[in-house]
Structure 1
């Protein structure tokens, strides 16, 4: 697993979606409940990979979506809540954690297309007050640094490295505790205290604080709340009506309960993370998002995928997308992991294909297992698919 994935694990109308299947099909030999009809070759290859994933005792529920050559497929396994035989559906909401950062990247790309900002702008242009600390050797943090994890900002604000010393507790759970009652004013106060130890753009340092700050900057650029921007610029145009930060009372029955490796239900991650990891979504919505990314039909989508760091012929980073290229084919992906939820979204533009995996369980092995699941399915769908590092 590469450094980005290890760090990401620590915290955090296109096409037609298959009709919701309402009948759970119990299977024998301790297989997980599923709505997979097992009628096509795609159904069969998904069944093999997904049932293998669900054999882990920690597994709870799984929703998986595939887009391939204009067709979409949705499969659900397990349950939305322990102790119940209630399958997820294409409308079940999951926390998507750090996949949220790609939405922030898409918003930044749109702001560039609209000429409201430039990717290379000094971030201090959009901050109130004096921040001489946000440069090193005369080189400032630039907007794109906030979304390729080379800003030099810490993993999280508040920056309490000692809090993560206890390796028995997942870092994401520790971060959730630190963020309780932590305000935006606290964030900016701590931002004044940041000390950069290298020039921005040169050193990888996974930073939720960077993506969170990018969300705050976009709010100032547009003079609108971040969630309103997400809705206006992305979710409404893409018919992603169930993708949001703040859940309403009517959303609660559709939201899957999230669990840790011991089966304990996890509390919700604080919404103030917003563009760094607070979005919730469904497999149906994420398939629309995948089609927007795979098609690269808009300037914003193209810009979000344009490398801002790395070797464009091998591994690089865009606006919070990781990009792996081999034999002219790209895999553009991001995973997400927070207490109770693990997810992965991967796009293969040249293959007109994409996969999304959403799970309501998270432990230190879930991210690797989800990557293996996606790799197995992608390779069986198209042998040219670039395999993600695992």
Structure 2
């Protein structure tokens, strides 16, 4: 297998580690509840692929949104919560996990378009005090390193990998405990303790800290809280009114319950992770985000798709987007996985096509099943569609 494809298979893993799950018992598949009318060719394609996804014993709920040639399609399967049958809708809220980082990347691109920053700026230019530790052999961490996972920063602050060795708790519960009452001041104090062991820009190391720090930097650049910045720069212009971090009681009522492979409900990811993995959204909103990315008419959208690492004619990374170029056709995608939720957002700008898949269950195989589902549908809709690595 080519080295670049191996890289593609290994990049951008889950925001938080998975729980341990026993081997699944073999059971007879039962067709999942759905709102799919099964009338059009697209309906029937989705029905077959989605029911295969839902046949997994651990599957709970699923929402699929497709954009193709100016038309959108939405399909829902399963249930919002295991103790009662309540079909998801286009307005059901899901945690989108690491797809949050693509919006943080879009905000960085917008700041570049507005000439407030440049991608190659030394991040220390925007920090509240002196951080000599955030360079290695005179090579600093630059803004774009924060969003393509080559900053060298740790997975999480506080940096306590030992805490995740406790197998009796979910990683989400551990992260929640670590971040309880953890402030931005605490974050910047811990950032001063970080030691880089290599020059930034070369080695892949998945880091929620990078995206979280970029969010804090953008707050300082714009003098605006991160969630408000998302609203002003992204969700309000695109009328994505249901994409947010903080949920009010009405939002909470529309939020799906997230489960692990054992059917145990998972706690919500901490909101302090903001631009790393704290955003929630709906399939309807995410279709608007897909259309914005597919069109590439906005300068910020186009910039977020420009490679910041890799080979633009093969595999590359943009502003948290992963990208493949095969025979002149591009696929631009990002997945998200945290305990309780899995998500996938795929854009085909050259084919005027995209797909979003949201699920309220996450285990070690959910991402594989989502990628399989996306490939089945996209390649059936257009044979030129580049398959995602699986």
Q: Given the two structures, how large is their TM-score scaled by the length of structure 2? A: 0.93
- 2:215 pairs with 1:215: yes
**3-state DSSP of counterpart to 2:249:** coil
Q: Which residue of 2 aligns with 1:65?
A: 65
Q: Which residue of 2 aligns with 1:285?
A: 285
1:170/1:3 Cα in 2 relative to 1: closer, same or farther (>3 Å)? farther
The CA deviation string for residues 240-285 of structure 1, in whole angstroms up to 9 with x for no partner, is 0000000011111111111111111111111010000000000000
The CA deviation string for residues 66-92 of structure 1, in whole angstroms up to 9 with x for no partner, is 000101000000001112111100000
Distance in 2, Cα, partners of 1:9 & 1:98 = 10
Q: Which residue of 2 aligns with 1:25?
A: none
Instruction: Tell me by how many angstroms 1:160 deviates.
Output: 1.3
| 1:94/1:358 contact within 8 Å kept | yes
Q: Which residue of 2 aligns with 1:385?
A: 385
Distance in 1, Cα, partners of 2:173 & 2:373 = 25
Instruction: Tell me by how many angstroms 1:163 deviates.
Output: 2.5
- 2:87 pairs with 1:87: yes
Distance in 1, Cα, partners of 2:169 & 2:329 = 38
| 1:173/1:338 contact within 8 Å kept | no
Distance in 1, Cα, partners of 2:279 & 2:14 = 19
Q: What's the C-alpha RMSD, in Å, of the aligned pairs?
A: 1.6
Distance in 1, Cα, partners of 2:170 & 2:252 = 25
**3-state DSSP of counterpart to 1:2:** helix
Equivalent positions of 1:182-193 (< 5 A) are 182-193=182-193
- 2:11 pairs with 1:4: yes
**3-state DSSP of counterpart to 1:74:** strand
Unaligned runs of 5+ in 2: 1-7, 19-27
The CA deviation string for residues 278-304 of structure 1, in whole angstroms up to 9 with x for no partner, is 000000000000000000001100000
The CA deviation string for residues 173-195 of structure 1, in whole angstroms up to 9 with x for no partner, is 54333222322111111100001
| 1:62/1:360 contact within 8 Å kept | yes
Q: Which residue of 2 aligns with 1:299?
A: 299
Q: Which residue of 2 aligns with 1:45?
A: 45
- 2:54 pairs with 1:54: yes
Q: Which residue of 2 aligns with 1:150?
A: 150
Q: Which residue of 1 aligns with 2:336?
A: 336
Instruction: Tell me by how many angstroms 1:388 deviates.
Output: 1.0
| 2:148/2:308 contact within 8 Å kept | yes
1:347/1:167 Cα in 2 relative to 1: closer, same or farther (>3 Å)? farther
Instruction: Tell me by how many angstroms 1:10 deviates.
Output: 3.3
Distance in 2, Cα, partners of 1:10 & 1:96 = 15
- 2:109 pairs with 1:109: yes
**3-state DSSP of counterpart to 2:84:** coil
**3-state DSSP of counterpart to 2:194:** coil
Q: Given the two structures, how large is their TM-score scaled by the length of structure 1? A: 0.93
Instruction: Tell me by how many angstroms 1:169 deviates.
Output: 6.0
Equivalent positions of 1:169-318 (< 5 A) are 171-318=171-318
Q: Which residue of 2 aligns with 1:18?
A: none
Unaligned runs of 5+ in 1: 12-27
Instruction: Tell me by how many angstroms 1:9 deviates.
Output: 6.6
Instruction: Tell me by how many angstroms 1:164 deviates.
Output: 3.1
| 1:8/1:335 contact within 8 Å kept | no
Distance in 1, Cα, partners of 2:197 & 2:231 = 37
**3-state DSSP of counterpart to 1:214:** helix
Distance in 2, Cα, partners of 1:309 & 1:89 = 37
How many residue pairs match? The answer is: 374
**3-state DSSP of counterpart to 1:50:** helix
| 2:15/2:97 contact within 8 Å kept | no
**3-state DSSP of counterpart to 2:33:** coil
Q: Which residue of 1 aligns with 2:36?
A: 36
